[in-house]
Structures are given as structure tokens and as C-alpha cells.
């Protein structure tokens, strides 16, 4: 065989081998692809079919309607109103900022509105509508609708917003809603409902306490979307469940009356409750604020104005104001004397106008003294020396123990997002907190509700309630029903007071209003069947110096913030107590001067409305 023939045969053999190898590789690759395709279609077909369906269908949450809050008669305190909004669809306009400036020719748009809208548009896809302004009037919406041909990308919409009809009168009680924050999202473990556009949640008051009940349950809709995520049509829908209605024990008209009466003072708080059931009929604090400003975000100017007010409009002083209870505390101290056999109805002391303890001289409010006092007359005339002298025989621990039984020194558990506990000092407390021993002079001061002792107005209302209801541990509450479910309360147990001692102390606080020397006799309700009993209190903000006392400086001559607080606790009617009231007027100078008249007006008004205040059943 020639060399040429051999070369040809070798080339042919090499080509055949290469062809076989390439063919094998091709067959192998096709086999792998076929096997993989079969695996995807047969074994995992359902998985990828589901994924493809999810890419085609989006599940959209539907915001529920927030539940109403009403008073005991169904009068709305927090409702939902129609909210007209204007939005812009960025994909339908070439120049977003120019479109917004055109819109500003027809409705008011601030530079802040424009910048906020531009910023929001950058965060979202161009086919997602962006809210420009809400709370528009019908006239504004009509103007926009008429001019829509000249406003590319602009569209109008209608939603809901929270509204508070009684405004300042129920601000501290009902609270308000606001936008969801990052902190709220973290607290609820990234609950997707909180991401709903425009959702508002409770920020204070009843709105916050019952937020989840009021919020309702979100619905959902399956939306068909195209490849870029734009919604094409609705495939199915599960409607949202509206939030539950919360019915309160308060009387809206009485609440409005109390707030209006308080507003005559610079800074004050008042609460009125049922001494037997604990139902709160009204609770107000002044100065107040309009909660409607907070629904869509309060302006910087308005916020700074509220923050600059030295009387703290945002604070609910009924729950968070902690004050020396002053002479109202003598109710607890008198009971402690009687229950621990330090005093009886016949025990007397002499008041010369002062009390000496070592080198210290403790003055009575009555400069020339009250003369000989027993427990009833000491309460009637609010004699300090009587309590100074007997308190040293009893001691601070026993005094604070009785005050705790009367409801002081701990939160009342009233439905609130915040409540202060007050303070009842003891020897152990001072050692632990201040690393110091208790001194006898501190017991003297504590016996008239000064020193370390602190109480909130709601606690003082509980104190007088427990006295006049026969010694039962009544607790206040604001909620009568949630949805269709009545909130039943257990019967209140006895706090174990001797009925004879209770009668003596009640006789003393009754004489405060009807006695010839009663400290608040000038504020008695004139109608015989509605007469009230009560106890005044005047809490020192700053101790009166010896020089001021010698110079005859009057409290009203001092700057407002240095004047005494005025307190009063009362009940009515005297013959069959039902209503208890607590009032604190900050820097009001004297309990009989400013707090007692205010309490009189509240108790009088409540009794006038008594036929309407038939209590909602709240006991099991």
C-alpha cells in the first residue's frame, strides 16, 4: 500500500473516532437535558407551576374600618369620616415636579408637600400612586376633577380618616391615632397589616389600650398583575372585618361640662366615678389639645407650641399627676388612728397653732390655733396639730398601711396606656431608696399629706369612694363593652374597716361641708337632696420660710409656679353616696378657695343628670 493510501486510511479512522466521541457527547448532553426536563416537568412540576402562578397573581391586603368609640349612650367620641385625597401616578407624567406645580394653582400645596411627594415617588415604582394631600374639601376635589385634562398623572381618591367630635374634651381620655413607626413594626414582629398605606394605629388613651380590637381584621384580594407588576384585574376578594365598637362608661355631656369647667383654671385635673361600681363618668385634664391634629401628622409649629406650654397639655394629670395629697390624706390617717386604737371618738388634743418636736416647730394652718379637737372636729376644721401629735404614737408604717388599703400607692389599673403609682413612704422604703433612717419629724409632716407622700387624682377618688361605700375595695374602670360583649366586673371585697370608725370619719368629712366651722361650707350644693360631703387639701409646693411668715407674705403674692396646689375630694348625695369626685388645681392656692367650688359644680351637674346615668350592668 502506498504512503498516500495509508495517510488517507489514518485520516478516515481519526475522523470516525472524533465523530463517535462528539456524537456520544451530544447524546449524553441531550440525555442530561432530557432527564432534567423530565425531572422539572414530572417530579417538580407542581412546585414551579405554583411559583409561576404566584408571579402572575399578587395577594393584596385590604385595610379594615376602625371601630368607633362611644360614650355610655352611644354618642360618638371617635369616628371615621370620609377623606378626600389627591394622588399622582408618576408614569403618566413626563415632569413630576411640573405636574405638582400645576396642581398648586388649584389647591394649596406647600413646598414641604411637593418635596415629600417627590421623595415618596423615588422610593416606589412609577406605576404606584403617591398621595399628595388628604383631608381635602369637596370643593377642592371638584376643582381638581374639572381641571384633570390639564393635570397629567393627577387622580382623586376617597378613603377614611379618624375624627374626634368632642375635640379637647376627650383628648386625654380617648387619645388619638397616628402613623405606624418602625418601632411599632418591630413590636408586632413585622405584622404585614402595619404596612398598609395610610394605616393609623392607637398612640394614646383608649385608642392605644384597645388598638387591636378597634383595628379589625384585614381582608385580602387576589390581583392579576402583568410582567412589570402592574395590577390588571381582581380575581377574588375576602372582605375585611371592621374593628369592634368600644363603649365607655363616661357620659359625653358630663365630660364636656367637666372639661369646660376645668378650662377656667390654668392647670387642673378632675375625675368623677361611681362609688359602688367604679364606673368613671368623666375624667378631664387642662390644658388639653385637639387630637384631630395628630391623625395625619401635627405641624412643626403646632407641636412646638404644645411642647413650650409649661402646663404640659399632653399629660393626663388625672393618671400621671403625682401630688402631695395634703389634708385630703387626713381621711386615711384618721382611720389609721381609730383602727390601731390610738384614738377613739372621745380622744382630744389641744391646738395652740403649733406643735413642738425638739427644736422644731410645726405650724397649724390656723395661726392662732383651733383649741381642743377630737377626730370629727379635726377633720371638719382640718386641724394639723391633732394629726401631728397622734401620728407620733402611731408611726409612719401604720399610716402608709392604711393608705394602701384605701387605694393609694399603687396604680388603679384603670384602662390607660400610662399611670403613675404615687408613693407611700415607710421606714424600709427610705432605707432602701435613700440609705437613711426615718425621722420622727418626717412622720409629723406625712400625717398631713406632705413630705414624700404622693397620690394621683384617680387614687384620691378611689380613696373617698372606699370610705363612703362602706369600706369596699372598689376599682375604677372606663370600659362598659367591646363589640357585643359586656365587660363584667367581680364584686368588690371588703377592706376590713370597722363600720363604727367609718361612720366617725364620714361624719367628719360631712361636717367639712355642713359644719359651722367646716373649711368648705361656702361651697355646699344649695339643693337639700343633693348636698355633698368632702375634704379640702392645700399642698405646699415650697416650704414657707420663717422670714416670709414674719413678713406676712401671702401665697397669692408668690409667682404662680410657687403657689400651693389646691385639692378636694368629695361625694354626693350625703344621705346615699353614689358619686365620688377628686379635683386638683395646680397652684390654686387653697382647697376651699378653688378646688371645692369646682368639685361642687361637677357633683351638682352629675346629680342633675342622675336619671340618665342609670349604670350599665358591669357586675357578674
Q: Which residues are catalytic?
A: 327
CB distance 244 to 213 below 8 Å? yes
DSSP single-letter state for residue 168: G
Instruction: Provide the β-strand partners of residue 155.
Output: 87
CA distance 134 to 152: 19
Cα dihedral 420/421/426/432 (nearest 10)? -70
Judging by DSSP bridges, how do beta strands 246-248 and 69-70 pair with one another?
parallel
- Determine how many CB atoms are found less than 10 A away from the CB of residue 24: 10
Contacts with 389 (C-beta within 8 Å, 6 or more apart), sequence order: 349, 355
C-alpha cell read off for 346: 372621745
- Residue 547's Cβ-count burial label (10 Å; 0-12, 13-18, 19+) is exposed
Measured distance CA(176)–CA(202) in Å, rounded: 6
Strand locations in 364-417 (E): 371-373
DSSP notation for 290-358: -THHHHT---HHHHHHHHH-TT-TT--HHHH--B--GGGGHHHHHHHHHHTTS--TT--EEESSEEEET
Rounded Cα gap, residues 555 and 587, in angstroms: 9
Alpha carbon of residue 444 to chain centroid:
36
Nearest to 449 by CA among 391, 410, 394, 393: 391
H or E segment and range at residue 582? strand 579-585
Q: What is the DSSP string of 131-152?
A: EEEEEE-HHHHHHHHHTGGGST
HSE, CB side, 13 Å, CA atoms: give it for residue 218: 15
Closest CA to 394 of 337, 331, 335: 337
Number of residues that this document lists for the chain? 620
Pairing relationship of beta strands 130-136 and 154-163 according to DSSP bridges: unpaired
- Most distant pair of Cα atoms in the chain: their distance: 154
Query: How many Cβ atoms sit within 10 Å of the Cβ of residue 431?
Result: 12
At 94, give phi and psi (nearest 5°).
-80, -30
Amino acid at each position: 500500500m502506498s504512503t498516500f493510501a495509508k495517510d488517507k486510511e489514518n485520516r478516515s479512522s481519526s475522523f470516525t473516532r472524533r465523530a463517535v466521541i462528539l456524537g456520544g457527547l451530544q447524546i449524553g448532553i441531550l440525555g442530561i437535558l432530557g432527564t432534567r426536563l423530565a425531572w422539572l416537568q414530572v417530579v417538580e412540576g407542581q412546585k414551579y407551576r405554583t411559583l409561576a402562578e404566584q408571579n402572575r397573581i399578587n395577594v393584596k391586603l385590604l385595610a379594615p374600618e376602625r371601630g368607633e368609640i362611644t360614650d355610655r349612650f352611644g354618642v360618638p367620641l371617635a369616628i371615621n369620616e370620609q377623606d378626600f385625597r389627591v394622588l399622582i401616578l408618576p408614569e403618566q407624567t413626563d415632569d413630576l415636579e411640573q405636574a405638582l406645580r400645576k396642581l398648586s394653582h388649584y389647591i394649596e400645596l406647600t413646598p414641604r408637600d411637593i418635596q415629600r411627594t417627590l421623595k415618596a415617588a423615588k422610593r416606589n415604582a412609577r406605576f404606584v400612586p403617591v398621595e399628595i394631600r388628604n383631608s381635602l374639601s369637596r370643593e377642592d376635589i371638584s376643582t381638581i376633577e374639572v381641571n384633570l385634562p390639564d393635570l397629567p398623572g393627577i387622580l382623586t381618591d376617597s378613603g377614611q380618616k379618624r375624627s374626634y367630635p368632642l375635640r379637647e374634651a376627650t383628648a386625654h381620655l380617648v387619645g388619638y391615632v397616628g402613623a405606624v413607626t418602625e418601632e411599632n413594626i418591630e413590636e408586632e414582629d413585622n405584622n404585614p397589616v402595619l404596612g398598609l398605606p395610610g394605616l393609623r394605629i392607637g398612640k394614646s388613651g383608649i385608642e392605644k389600650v384597645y388598638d387591636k380590637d378597634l383595628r379589625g381584621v384585614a381582608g385580602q384580594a387576589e390581583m392579576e398583575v402583568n410582567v412589570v407588576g402592574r395590577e390588571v384585574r381582581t380575581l377574588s376578594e375576602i372582605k375585611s372585618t371592621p374593628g369592634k365598637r368600644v363603649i365607655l362608661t363616661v357620659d359625653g355631656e358630663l365630660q364636656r361640662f367637666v372639661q369646660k369647667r376645668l378650662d377656667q383654671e390654668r392647670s387642673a385635673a378632675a375625675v368623677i366615678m361611681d362609688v359602688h361600681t367604679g364606673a368613671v363618668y368623666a375624667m378631664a385634664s387642662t390644658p388639653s389639645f385637639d387630637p384631630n391634629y395628630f391623625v395625619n401628622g401635627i405641624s412643626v409649629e403646632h407641636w412646638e407650641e404644645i411642647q413650650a406650654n409649661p402646663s404640659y397639655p399632653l399629660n393626663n394629670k388625672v393618671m400621671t399627676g403625682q401630688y402631695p395629697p395634703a389634708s385630703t390624706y387626713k381621711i386615711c390617717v384618721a382611720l389609721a388612728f381609730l383602727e390601731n386604737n390610738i384614738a377613739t371618738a372621745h380622744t382630744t388634743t389641744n391646738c395652740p397653732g403649733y406643735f413642738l418636736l425638739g427644736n422644731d416647730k410645726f405650724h397649724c394652718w390656723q395661726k392662732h390655733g383651733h383649741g381642743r379637737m377630737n377626730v370629727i372636729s379635726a377633720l371638719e376644721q382640718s386641724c394639723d396639730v391633732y394629726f401631728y401629735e397622734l401620728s407620733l404614737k402611731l408611726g409612719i408604717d401604720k399610716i402608709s398601711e392604711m393608705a394602701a388599703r384605701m387605694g393609694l400607692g399603687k396604680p388603679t389599673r384603670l384602662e390607660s396606656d400610662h399611670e403613675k403609682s404615687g408613693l407611700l413612704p415607710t421606714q424600709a422604703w427610705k432605707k432602701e431608696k435613700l440609705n437613711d433612717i426615718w425621722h420622727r419629724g418626717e412622720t409629723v409632716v406625712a400625717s398631713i399629706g406632705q413630705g414624700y407622700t404622693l397620690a394621683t387624682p384617680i387614687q384620691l377618688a378611689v380613696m373617698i369612694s372606699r370610705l363612703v361605700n362602706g369600706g369596699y375595695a372598689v376599682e375604677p374602670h372606663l370600659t362598659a363593652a367591646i363589640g357585643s360583649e359586656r365587660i363584667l366586673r367581680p364584686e368588690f371585697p371588703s377592706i376590713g374597716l370597722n363600720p363604727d370608725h367609718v361612720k366617725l370619719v364620714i361624719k367628719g368629712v360631712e361636717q367639712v361641708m355642713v359644719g359651722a366651722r367646716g373649711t368648705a361650707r361656702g361651697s355646699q350644693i344649695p339643693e337639700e337632696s343633693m348636698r355633698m360631703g368632702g375634704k379640702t387639701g392645700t399642698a405646699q409646693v415650697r416650704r414657707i420660710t420663717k422670714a416670709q411668715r414674719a413678713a406676712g407674705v401671702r401665697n397669692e403674692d408668690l409667682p404662680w409656679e410657687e403657689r400651693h396646689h389646691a385639692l378636694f375630694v368629695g361625694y354626693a348625695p350625703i344621705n346615699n353616696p353614689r358619686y365620688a369626685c377628686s379635683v386638683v388645681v395646680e397652684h390654686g392656692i387653697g382647697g376651699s378657695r378653688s378646688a371645692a367650688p369646682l368639685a361642687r359644680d361637677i357633683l351638682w351637674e352629675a346629680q342633675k343628670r342622675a336619671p340618665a346615668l342609670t349604670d350599665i350592668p358591669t357586675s357578674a
